[in-house]
A and B are shown apart, each in its own frame.
Chain A
């Protein structure tokens, strides 16, 4: 193995079901239902997935949902804005913890 991540492995995802077929079936059914058109469109859900994929930094998900977003009709500008949303939340989440830092400074400082 040259690297922990290999693009070919994405298509092997269903083989995870070999160890626990019933759980895989439940996951697959639920996953399919989650991304079906509902109160949100399939395109909106794909954009959310793309943003989350960047937040959790999953290369498989980024690959899959970049393609999915394009196939649902999103363009590069819209997809880039979705990634910025993820980045802003991640950045903001780091920054807001600065309040804890301040709390600690206040507590232990004279």
Chain B
């Protein structure tokens, strides 16, 4: 299968070279350890993974926050809650008055030793971004594992009880949808309306916004595409759905991603592909240079078509 290079495609819209427009989010991946083994996970996370960010590397992230105007910290994993210094990092970020987002798989909040985590989130005004690929048990468990859906609903009810996702509350709870297979996500607006109606009706659960995120051909999802014979069809779908407006708004233009070992990447997907920041910008948190990184050329690959297909996709959902 011959696929036109991503750089060549964006050249046609005057977007090459793709360049950072300034960094407002530090996305920190605390490691690949997770209590779940999701079939689509681009990280390949699971209970047996050993890669976990050290407190020392977290300290370097905090130094960057102190020295720059980066306003938001987006904490991800794995299940970031499983990092032993997770709570310390959040408290320090809040001490620096930064907005803190945590990407939670929800089930960890029901696990032993994590029962008080929702309260901790609320006290620290953490924005919770929670995975819930569908509002039915079958679709969710098929992708994320047996029993995940019921635990997720229980965790959402607990968050709601603390004021998360409730109108006029300052505690923000956003859900993440990603397709359960080799197809693009639906309209974010239409699906959010469905989710809100069905989650209220079926479970009496509320939330603020739904983010629709496209599955990128990376990690376990790539393995699924190959083993199921869907790779060519899916790549063709991504490439034929290329949207220049989405390409102009890709998330890597405004964030930088830190790996568990301190390596810097343009996004979490590049991180999993081992494609560190390049083109003359420093590639480790120890050498963080805000000016150079804010103007860096972004490292691209064929997987980038996943963020530019249809309505676009980023960590905050559709980008157009």
Please give me the residue from chain A that is nearest to B233 by CB atom: A7
Are A67 and B183 in contact, with the CB atoms below 8 A?
yes
User: Within the assembled complex, what's the spacing in Å between the Cα atoms of A70 and B133?
Assistant: 13
Tell me how far the C-beta of B131 lies from the nearest C-beta in chain A, rounded to whole angstroms: 17
Name, among B139, B183, B191, the residue most crowded by chain A CB atoms within 10 Å (CB to CB): B183
- Given A75-B136, A75-B139, A70:B181 Cβ within 8 A: yes
Please give me the residue from chain B that is nearest to A63 by CB atom: B233
Are B187 and A72 in contact, with the CB atoms below 8 A?
yes
Tell me how far the C-beta of A28 lies from the nearest C-beta in chain B, rounded to whole angstroms: 15
Contact count band on B: 10 to 19
Which A residues are CB-close (under 8 A) to B194?
73
Flag A42-74 by CB within 8 Å of B: 1 or 0 each.
110000000000000000000000010011110
User: Within the assembled complex, what's the spacing in Å between the Cα atoms of A72 and B184?
Assistant: 9
Please give me the residue from chain A that is nearest to B135 by CB atom: A75
Chain B CB within 8 A of A41 CB: yes
User: Within the assembled complex, what's the spacing in Å between the Cα atoms of A97 and B191?
Assistant: 42
Chain A CB within 8 A of B236 CB: yes
User: Within the assembled complex, what's the spacing in Å between the Cα atoms of A3 and B301?
Assistant: 37
Chain A CB within 8 A of B179 CB: yes
Which B residues are CB-close (under 8 A) to A75?
134, 136, 139
Chain B CB within 8 A of A11 CB: yes
Please give me the residue from chain A that is nearest to B134 by CB atom: A75
Are A70 and B183 in contact, with the CB atoms below 8 A?
yes
Are A71 and B190 in contact, with the CB atoms below 8 A?
no
Within 8 A of B (CB), among A69-96: 70-73, 75
Please give me the residue from chain B that is nearest to A66 by CB atom: B183
User: Within the assembled complex, what's the spacing in Å between the Cα atoms of A92 and B170?
Assistant: 56
Tell me how far the C-beta of A62 lies from the nearest C-beta in chain B, rounded to whole angstroms: 15
User: Within the assembled complex, what's the spacing in Å between the Cα atoms of A43 and B190?
Assistant: 9
User: Within the assembled complex, what's the spacing in Å between the Cα atoms of A30 and B310?
Assistant: 21
Tell me how far the C-beta of B237 lies from the nearest C-beta in chain A, rounded to whole angstroms: 8
Tell me how far the C-beta of B229 lies from the nearest C-beta in chain A, rounded to whole angstroms: 11
Are A71 and B139 in contact, with the CB atoms below 8 A?
no
Tell me how far the C-beta of B244 lies from the nearest C-beta in chain A, rounded to whole angstroms: 19
User: Within the assembled complex, what's the spacing in Å between the Cα atoms of A67 and B238?
Assistant: 13
Are A71 and B183 in contact, with the CB atoms below 8 A?
yes
Chain A CB within 8 A of B316 CB: no
One of B179, B183, B236, B310 near A11 (C-beta < 8 A): B236
Are B191 and A73 in contact, with the CB atoms below 8 A?
yes
Tell me how far the C-beta of B263 lies from the nearest C-beta in chain A, rounded to whole angstroms: 35
Name, among A11, A67, A71, the residue most crowded by chain B CB atoms within 10 Å (CB to CB): A71
Tell me how far the C-beta of A96 lies from the nearest C-beta in chain B, rounded to whole angstroms: 36
User: Within the assembled complex, what's the spacing in Å between the Cα atoms of A65 and B134?
Assistant: 20
Flag B305-320 by CB within 8 Å of A: 1 or 0 each.
0000010000000000
Partner-B contacts on A (CB < 8 A): 11, 41-43, 67, 70-73, 75
Additional 6 contacts, C-beta under 8 A, given A72-B186, A75-B134: A43-B186, A70-B183, A73-B186, A73-B187, A73-B191, A75-B139
A-B contact pairs, 10 of them (CB 8 A): A11-B236, A43-B190, A71-B183, A71-B310, A72-B186, A72-B187, A73-B186, A73-B187, A73-B190, A73-B194
Rank and list the top 7 A-B pairs by shortest CB-CB distance, nearest first. A73-B186, A70-B183, A71-B184, A73-B191, A71-B183, A72-B186, A67-B183
